[in-house]
Structure 1
Amino acid sequence: MPKHSRRFTNILQKLDKSLLYSPEEAINLLKNFSSVKFVETLEVHIALGLDPKYADQQLRSTVILPKGSGKVVRVAVITQGEKLNEATLAGADVVGSDDLIQQILEGNLNFDKLIATPDFMLLIAKLGRVLGPRGLMPSPKSGTVTNDLKNAISEFKSGKLEYKVDRTGILHVPIGKLTFDTDDLLLNLQALQDSIDKNRPSGSKGKYWKSLYLSSTMGPGIPVDVSLLRDIKTV
């Protein structure tokens, strides 16, 4: 059985395990609990009524967080010709063609998001064994295979993120830094909720949202009343 630190144990004693908290209460509690020397990330953990082993119950999509993620996102672009200059002007941190593909194969992954133009789809297939396990493989569904480089780069740098359920049907999504205003974090949470609802898989049956927990990087998971999500009020 894992042992908790004294700090973590003291925090757990301040939580009422019999309660489901409102989103605002949970965020404010995590803010008050935070005592580490770095800025923690607010994380959302959502158990959905999905069994991902069935093709029609898989959930993978993207969401643009209206208040951003608080993370500096390094974007790499694989393209050619005039698109190389377009990607650079749009703010890409790393730009290349076959040379960048070779660098990635050699293990140089100095980026957080990789975008490719459709004409490189066949060539980037060889990167699957390197990028796949890290969730960095470009795909049209995630918006990382596109000719609209300017818009794609802008969205990912300003807070667009990809999410998907794990093998147990649970989503784990970071939605901002704990230093954000509570209302800003609530807006990001609302955006995620709307995206999850709009992208509900066709094979989903019965109760879709089963449970929701909010936590910080070094904080406890706080259970949230899912029915209160749609009642979030922000200024």
Structure 2
Amino acid sequence: MKKGKRYVESAKLVDRATLYDVDEAVSILKKTANAKFDETIEAHIRLGVDGRHADQQVRGAVVLPHGTGKTVRVLVFAKGDKVAEAEAAGADFVGGDELVPRIQKEGWLDFDVVVATPDMMGIVGRLGRILGPKGLMPNPKAGTVTMDVTKAINDIKAGKIEYRLDKSNIIHVPIGKASFTEEQLADNFHTLIGAINKAKPAAAKGQYLKSVVVTSTMGPGIKLNTVKLA
């Protein structure tokens, strides 16, 4: 595939043979993210685990200190007094049974995160085939199945992100926007890596952080020195 002129110019700033320190990588990222929109900065982390085994799964959530720079729309499945609590906490959509046909039949998916109280999981479970593949299924490990809907919504709005392995044992997550300062991006990155290191399964053997690459939406990947991140 032919790369655009802007990408080719940006790629000249990155030495593919070098493993960069975080601060150096962030500085280069700011220079390579030169599209006409505010590019998302992402981290792609390959782990030395086998996610096919339950005892080597890596999944969780972490609140990035400076958020992601994205406005997150939260849908809450709740009933009784939890409906008013969710609305007061700033949920964008709150409902129950009536949302199922809207999602199933009308294809309504105008939300980024789904939170549910435990007593609503029977209803949410009916949407598993739709929400699951899109990574939207509420999960206790990510703090999105909870009675404390206020805390869940506040955390999400403050910049909480979920991380989980894909089929290749890689975690893909946003860590901010190109408009963030270098310090904000570095803070967010270190917070994420700290959480992933803490989540290391006891069954994981050998090198845990196999490779870590940071990139902007339109820019080249920058490899980090994993030895300094462990």
Normalised by the length of structure 1, the TM-score is 0.94
- Deviation string 1:207-234 (CA, Å, 9 cap, x unpaired) is 111111110000000111123337xxxx
Q: Measure, in 2, the Cα distance between the counterparts of 1:182 and 1:129.
A: 40
CA contact (8 A) 2:32 2:216 kept: no
Q: Secondary structure in 2 aligned to 1:133?
A: coil
Q: Secondary structure in 2 aligned to 1:214?
A: strand
Alignment correspondent of 1:3? 2
Q: Secondary structure in 1 aligned to 2:30?
A: helix
Alignment correspondent of 1:199? 199
The one-letter code sitting in structure 2 at the alignment partner of 1:99 is E
Q: Quick check: 1:24 aligned with 2:23?
A: yes
The one-letter code sitting in structure 2 at the alignment partner of 1:46 is I
Alignment correspondent of 1:173? 173
Q: Measure, in 1, the Cα distance between the counterparts of 2:29 and 2:195.
A: 24
* Distance apart, 1:206 and its partner CA: 0.8
Q: Measure, in 2, the Cα distance between the counterparts of 1:203 and 1:78.
A: 35
- Percent sequence identity over matched residues? 47
Alignment correspondent of 1:233? none
Count of matched residue positions in the alignment of Structure 1 and Structure 2: 229
CA contact (8 A) 2:62 2:161 kept: yes
Unaligned runs of 5+ in 1: 231-235
Q: Measure, in 2, the Cα distance between the counterparts of 1:195 and 1:186.
A: 14
- Deviation string 1:142-170 (CA, Å, 9 cap, x unpaired) is 11111101100000011011111111111
- Equivalent positions of 1:1-235 (< 5 A) are 2-106=1-105, 107-229=107-229
- Deviation string 1:61-114 (CA, Å, 9 cap, x unpaired) is 111101111110000111111111111111000011111222222211111111
Q: Secondary structure in 2 aligned to 1:26?
A: helix
Unaligned runs of 5+ in 2: none
- Deviation string 1:170-196 (CA, Å, 9 cap, x unpaired) is 111111111111111111111111111
CA contact (8 A) 1:23 1:228 kept: no
Q: Measure, in 1, the Cα distance between the counterparts of 2:202 and 2:156.
A: 27
Normalised by the length of structure 2, the TM-score is 0.96
* Distance apart, 1:22 and its partner CA: 1.2
Q: Measure, in 2, the Cα distance between the counterparts of 1:139 and 1:16.
A: 40
